[in-house]
Structure 1
């Protein structure tokens, strides 16, 4: 069975989004989790998908122009990710969205379709988010691995990654890696 791997960038106090509605501490949205060699599909929630599609389409179409979220030109790693996802099927969990600009995008309407997707042959699936989708899929027992990059700051106000999680989940620490600027990468298996 394919694994569903979630990757999130959070603060020490577990925030994935600051009070302004985005993660202002994140300088780039590249594959810092090492999933590219391991996955051949991406899964997103319907709330996150429109902004994701807009952000990466902008980088694909104008790779020298500053990205609208960061205000900085794309990093080489972001350009690499933009090329990768242009060829990668995307699945969007949504009861309301019905169209997407990207040709490799399909819509999933329920958890049973995600379970069926995991049963198909292929590499693993990267759960990009958002946080509400990630929490609900963890609660449903569909997420197999959680990859976190912890930023060394306390956001205080903002949205917590696990604020909507309904029940306690055991995690098995699989890997710890210290990154630049005091960040830490943690990989957990989810019971």
Structure 2
């Protein structure tokens, strides 16, 4: 069975989003998790999808122009993911969205649909968020691994990852790597 790997950039106080709804402390939305060779599909929530599609389409079409959300041109380290994103199937877990600009986007309506996707042949699946879908799929027992880039800051206001997860889960730390700027890469397997 394919593994569902949740990967997010979080603050030391466990925030996945700042008060404006994004992790405004992140300099670049590069793929810092080592997943590009390992995955062949991405899952994200309906609330995150529209902004995600807009942001990466802008990078694909004009990386030197100011981007939505940041107002700055794409960071050099974002370009490999932009190329990967253009050829990767996306699965959006949403009960309200029915259309997408990206042609390789399909919609999932339930956690059972995510479980069925995991049973299909293929590589692992990148669960990119937002925090609501990560919480929901964690609670459903569908997430197999977490990869976090931990930023050295206390975000304060904002949305904490796992803020709605009720069930306790033991994790096994399988990898720690120090990154530039005091960030840490952490990989946990669900025990």
4+ residue runs over 6 A deviation: none
Question: Residue 51 of structure 1 aligns with which residue?
Answer: 51
The DSSP-based 3-state class of the residue aligned with 1:95 is: coil
Structure 1 position 2 matched with structure 2 position 2: yes
- How do 1:1-191 residues align onto structure 2 when only pairs under 5 Å count? 1-191=1-191
Query: Do the aligned partners of 1:28 and 1:70 also contact (CA within 8 Å) in 2?
Result: no
Q: Could you tell me how far 1:165 is from its partner in structure 2?
A: 1.0
TM-score, normalised on structure 2? 0.97
Deviations 1:34-64 (A, max 9, x none): 1000000000011110110111111111111
CA distance in 2, matches of 1:4, 1:64: 33
The DSSP-based 3-state class of the residue aligned with 1:136 is: helix
TM-score, normalised on structure 1? 0.97
CA distance in 2, matches of 1:2, 1:113: 14
Question: Which ranges in structure 1 are unaligned for 5 or more consecutive residues?
Answer: none
Query: Do the aligned partners of 2:174 and 2:189 also contact (CA within 8 Å) in 1?
Result: yes
Q: Could you tell me how far 1:76 is from its partner in structure 2?
A: 2.6
Deviations 1:136-167 (A, max 9, x none): 10111100010011111111111101111121
RMSD over aligned CA atoms reads 0.9
When the two structures are aligned, how many residues end up with a matched partner? 191
CA distance in 2, matches of 1:28, 1:158: 19
Deviates more, 1:173-182 or 1:68-77: 68-77
CA distance in 2, matches of 1:94, 1:17: 20
